[in-house]
């Protein structure tokens, strides 16, 4: 996926127009203070902006990402923070953490229930007893209603003299013979225009219902404490774009 490789140095500038960075950090801080979390693992840390912000709030934090390019740029940008290459399913630290979070779609790259079970099991291994995990999950219900969206411009980023235009479209992608009730896969297509250069980038992702995630968390012995619809801590609604789940390890 080119966003995380050849576009890694521009990743934050490309994404930030669609994010509310301060809201996200304040949300994480409020939840973790409530549960007396001090040590934190950021899974899918990208180029490290959340890691820096959380460190400045006093957390002992490590950021991991499966993209070598993303970690390289994170280390260059924030040399006083801790980063490592690692993924959801296999990364294991010697010492476990009070809290783990994975936000902005990282979990949606896990396509099968087996992928989810392995990843949640690994999160469990990395958490201390009664540890807190926060996950942002993209909601299947509005995607199932829309089915597809044509390629349209969704953002511009200016980095020095370089202007990057981002175009995005999606469609539900079903394996041959798949039934309506099976998992919802989405083919998300991006086209990036960097001045005269065009980069096409396709991502296959899975979106989830709350029931699907709740069952998987139950299987891995997590209790859901709260489900929010956004980082302003508003209640989750079935037709909202995302769910932000706060769960506790049993």
| Burial call 72-100: b when 16+ CB within 10 Å, e when fewer | bbbbebbeebbbeebbbbebeeeebbbbb
Q: What average pLDDT does range 86-115 have in this prediction?
A: 95
Tens of pLDDT along 155-167? 999 999 999 999 9
Query: Residue 42: in which H helix or E strand, if any?
Result: strand 39-43
Q: What is the CATH number of domain 2-138+208-249?
A: 3.40.50.150
Separation between Cα atoms, residue 65 and residue 35, nearest integer Å: 25
Which one, of 40, 41, 46, 39, lies nearest residue 77 by Cα? Answer: 46
Q: What are phi and psi of 19, to 5 degrees?
A: -115, 160
Separation between Cα atoms, residue 195 and residue 199, nearest integer Å: 11
Return the SS3 of 170: strand
1 in Cβ contact with 69 (< 8 Å): no
Return the SS3 of 174: coil
Report in angstroms the alpha-carbon separations of 143 from 120, 174, 241, 242. 24, 13, 8, 11
Which one, of 53, 47, 54, lies nearest residue 71 by Cα? Answer: 47
Tens of pLDDT along 60-93? 999 999 999 999 999 999 999 999 999 999 999 9
Tokens 């999950």 correspond to 137
Given this model, what pLDDT does residue 1 score?
A: 85
Return the domain boundaries, the chain.
2-138+208-249, 141-206
Q: Could you tell me which CATH class the domain 141-206 is placed in?
A: mainly beta
* Stated pTM of the model: 0.94
145 in Cβ contact with 156 (< 8 Å): no
Check whether 212 has a pLDDT greater than 80.
yes
């Amino acid at each position: 996926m080119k966003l995380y490789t050849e576009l890694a140095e521009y990743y934050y500038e490309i994404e930030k127009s669609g994010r509310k960075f301060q809201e996200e950090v304040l949300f994480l801080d409020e939840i973790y203070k409530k549960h007396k979390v001090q040590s934190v693992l950021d899974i899918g840390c990208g180029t490290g902006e959340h890691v820096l912000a959380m460190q400045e709030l006093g957390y002992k934090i490590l950021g991991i990402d499966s993209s070598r390019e993303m970690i390289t740029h994170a280390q260059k940008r924030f040399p006083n923070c801790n980063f490592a290459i690692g993924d959801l399913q296999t990364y294991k630290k010697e010492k476990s953490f009070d809290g783990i979070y994975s936000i902005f779609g990282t979990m949606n790259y896990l396509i099968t229930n087996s992928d989810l079970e392995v990843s949640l099991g690994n999160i469990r291994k990395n958490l201390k007893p009664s540890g807190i995990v926060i996950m942002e999950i993209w909601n299947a219900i509005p995607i199932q209603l829309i089915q597809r969206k044509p390629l349209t411009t969704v953002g511009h980023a200016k980095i020095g003299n370089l202007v990057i235009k981002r175009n995005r479209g999606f469609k539900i992608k079903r394996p041959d013979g798949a039934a309506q009730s099976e998992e919802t896969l989405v083919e998300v297509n991006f086209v990036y225009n960097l001045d005269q250069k065009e980069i096409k980038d396709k991502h296959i992702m899975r979106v989830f219902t709350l029931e699907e995630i709740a069952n998987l968390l139950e299987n891995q012995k997590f209790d859901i404490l709260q489900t929010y619809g956004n980082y302003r801590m508003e209640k989750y609604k079935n037709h909202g774009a995302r769910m932000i789940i706060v769960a506790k390890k049993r």
